[in-house]
Amino acid sequence: MDITLQAIMSQALLGLNNGAFYALLSLGLAVIFGMLNVVNFAHGAFYMLGAFVALLGYDQLGRWLGDESIRMSFWVALIIGPIIVGLLGVLIEKTMLSRLYKVDHLYGLLLTFGLALIFEGVLSNYFNMAGEPYNGKPEILEGAINLGFMVFPKYRLFSIVLSLSVCFAVWYLIEKTKLGSHLRAGTENPDVTRAFGIDVPSLRTLTYFLGVALAGLAGVVAAPIYSVSPKMGSDLIIIVFAVVVIGGMGSIMGAILTGIALGLLEGLVKVFYPPLANTVIFIVMALVLLWRPSGLFGKEN
Amino acid sequence: MNAPVIKLASVASLQKKKTHFTPWIIALLLASVAPFIIYPIFAMELMCFALFACAFNLLLGFGGLLSFGHAAFFGGAAYLCGHAIKHWGFSPELGILFAMLGAAILGLAIGSIAIRRQGIYFAMVTLALAQIVFFLCLQLPFTGGEDGLQGIPKGHLFGLIDLSSTVSVGQQQLPLALYFFVLAITFGGYWLIWRTVHSPFGMVLKAIKENEPRALSLGYQVNRYKLATFVLSAALAGLAGATKALVVGLASLSDVSWHMSGEVVLMTLLGGMGTLLGPLVGAVTVSTLHHELASLGSWVTVTIGVVFVVCVMAFRRGIVGEIAYRLKRSF
């Protein structure tokens, strides 16, 4: 086998890129799980919707407004995408999820599973399952950059930096700010928190908005790299679940670090033994669970 | 914590009930005339899904464990059965037994990892482990990759009865030999589940579901009970999957995918989890929905999704559970 250092490095960076997406998605899942005790099966669908906001904003918005020259730029999509997806999340949380907090947590999982089917099914009717390319990649991110030891596409570098910055910003928000302390208090003991005059239901809505918006953001960032298709979320969601289980469910830092690490690992396995690349994350998960059932960063109970 | 005590008492009173054979006989009669009325292949598929849903419900409805990876046993057994019959020349009954054994071993492996966690964690762990099985089925040399394992022969039951034979009734050619073989398997499987639920083992299982710490403090080896139920449920799901592979002559990736795991959860939820008849009704409803709406393309997925949401939001008892609740009886 002839494997050059360059091949390894480029796969490692591609893996890091995937890892950044895993981190962003599993962070959203961990936030929602940690605060609401809901396993958000619709997370992949929200990711897919984020990508579709970018795609439709660029290709179709002009036609809808009657002026073909209007296009939503990538930078605008980066802001609008998460907001639209987040607002859809707020609607769902207010009308459905909030009624399930008092029953078995499994119902939250089943509800979001049903929602995922609905989103995926509706979009499958209008769009090609094979996926459509997003052409709105900003010019400044076209081309590649010479890192000294290798040449790497600018956009991928951008997406790694953006995803990781957002991850650490969210970690800071939850672990170090007052709002974050209210969020955590609301999870630990909703009744006492409410007695202190903090509006727990609004906090929950805000949490779901935040978690789902992260998925939407990941979708927008992914649009120029992967083809945009109704299926793109359902393929990814199971991997992200595995990442969250390995990291320890509900652990914010666990989700981020595990996401990055597993993306890297997957990239490297792709160099040395490609058939194993799809499975390696699940094998790691099985091993971690045998050794530490609550995950790498989870609290033992 | 008074509620569990009352529930445990009602479980104990179940034990005193006499067995009523009438519903069984009616069901058998109905099932015997079914192939003359509906398309027999569809009827056989219905039975396989119904058995799958009942096996799943044994775990969820009676053990309180939501496995999101049951497709691994259903689809995995389909591959094992297909391979054993097609390439090793196993007879159909041996092929199915072999696949069932394989599913049980797989269930032991996945179950012993998964029962280390509870509730949602359990669901996610089973989902992810089932995904390993999915990738194995995609990549192992004998599975045919994306195309699946095709052209599985039906063979001769016990070396005597040709399962591919048909009987002409009026204008139609009905595969009655195969039909009654599948019917026997479905009833056998269902009877086993019914026996398990009404045995002392089933009582302990219910006690664990109602209040695990209490069962633990009573000295029951809770994890052993859970694992045994998991293995039994996996083996029966495998039985259903292997039989389906024999019926349609095909083992495909869709049977091992997580969508199938979701489908069986829906069947159970819609019919009524924790009821014996519920999964049967749910499986028939969901399969018929698929069958009737097939021309609508992706709107089937949307419809199934809507049914899911409605069940969770407004109909958590399910069809049979709701009827049982209104009539204050157990089914």
Residues A150-196 have pLDDT tens digits of 778 888 889 999 999 999 999 999 888 888 888 878 777 777 888 88
The Cα–Cα gap between A297 and B27 comes to 52
Best mean pLDDT range from A272-276, B4-8, B187-191: B187-191
Contact call for A289 and B117, based on CB within 8 A: yes
Mutate one of B122, B132, B306 to test the A interface: name it (highest A CB count within 10 A): B132
Q: pLDDT band for B103, please (50, 70, 90 cuts).
A: very high
Q: What is the pLDDT of residues A25-72, one digit of tens each?
A: 999 998 888 888 888 989 999 999 999 999 988 887 777 777 777 778
Domain assignment present for residue A299? The answer is: no
Show residues of chain A in contact with B262, CB under 8 Å: 113, 117
Q: In Å, how far are A40, A106, A134, B239 from B189, measured between CA atoms?
A: 34, 27, 51, 8
Neighbours of B53 (CB within 10 A): 33
* Total number of domains in chain A: 1
- Domain-embedded: residue A18: yes
Taking residue B25's Cβ as centre, other Cβ atoms within 10 Å add up to 10
User: Considering the domain boundaries, does residue A296 fall inside one?
Assistant: no
pLDDT at B198 over 60: yes
Model ipTM? 0.83
Backbone dihedral angles phi then psi of residue B162, each to the nearest 5 degrees: -80, 110
Q: Give the model confidence (pLDDT) of B290-323 as tens digits.
A: 888 888 878 888 988 998 899 888 888 888 888 8
- Nearest C-alpha in B relative to A242: B128
Q: Which residues of A lie closer than 8 Å to B, measured between beta carbons?
A: 33, 37, 39, 96, 99-100, 103, 105-107, 109-111, 113-118, 120-122, 124-125, 238, 241-242, 244-245, 249, 275, 278-279, 282-283, 285-286, 289-290, 293-294
Q: Name the residue in chain B with its Cα closest to that of A278.
A: B135
Distance (Å, rounded) from C-alpha B104 to C-alpha B237? 9
Of A15, A170, A40, which Cα lies nearest the Cα of A111? A40
Residue A180 CA, chain-centre distance (Å), reads: 20
Buried/exposed B275-285: b ≥16 CB within 10 Å, e otherwise: bbbbbbbbbbb
Task: Locate the domains of chain B by residue range.
Answer: 39-256
- The reported pLDDT for the residue numbered B229 is 92
Question: Is B250 strand, coil or helix?
Answer: strand
Biggest CA–CA distance in chain B, Å, is: 64
pLDDT score of B147 more than 80:
no
> Residue A119 domain-assigned?
yes
pLDDT > 90? residue B100: yes
pLDDT at residue A68, rounded to an integer: 73
> A276 in a domain, yes or no?
yes
Would the pLDDT of B246 be above 60?
A: yes
The answer to whether the Cβ–Cβ distance between B132 and A100 falls below 8 Å is: no
Least CB–CB distance from B302: residue in A96, A113, A122: A122
DSSP string over B117-135: S-HHHHHHHHHHHHHHHHH
User: Between A129 and B128, where is the model more confident?
Assistant: B128
Reported as a single tens digit per residue, the pLDDT across B6-59 is 444 444 445 445 556 777 787 777 777 777 777 888 888 888 999 999 999 998
Encode B313-326: b = buried (16+ Cβ within 10 Å), e = exposed: bebbbbbbbebbee
For the domain that residue A53 is a member of, what is the CATH number? 1.10.3470
Low-confidence winner among B14-23, B95-104, B264-273 (lowest mean pLDDT): B14-23
- Best mutation target, B116, B210, B302, B310, to test chain A (most A CBs within 10 A): B302
Tell me, letter by letter, the H, E, C secondary structure of A153-215.
EHHHHHHHHHHHHHHHHHHHHHHHCHHHHHHHHHHHCHHHHHHCCCCHHHHHHHHHHHHHHHH
What DSSP state is assigned to residue B18? P
As a whole number of angstroms, the distance between CA B63 and CA B204 comes to 9
Report the pLDDT averaged over residues A239-265.
Answer: 88
DSSP string computed for B42-109: HHHHHHHHHHHHHHHHHHHTTT----S-THHHHHHHHHHHHHHHHHS---HHHHHHHHHHHHHHHHHH
Sign of CA dihedral A146, A147, A150, A154: negative
Structural domain including A261 reads 5-291
For residue A230, the 8-state DSSP code is T
Shortest alpha-carbon distance between residue B153 and chain A (Å): 30
Q: Are A98 and A204 in contact (CB under 8 A)?
A: yes
For residue A269, being part of any structural domain is answered with yes
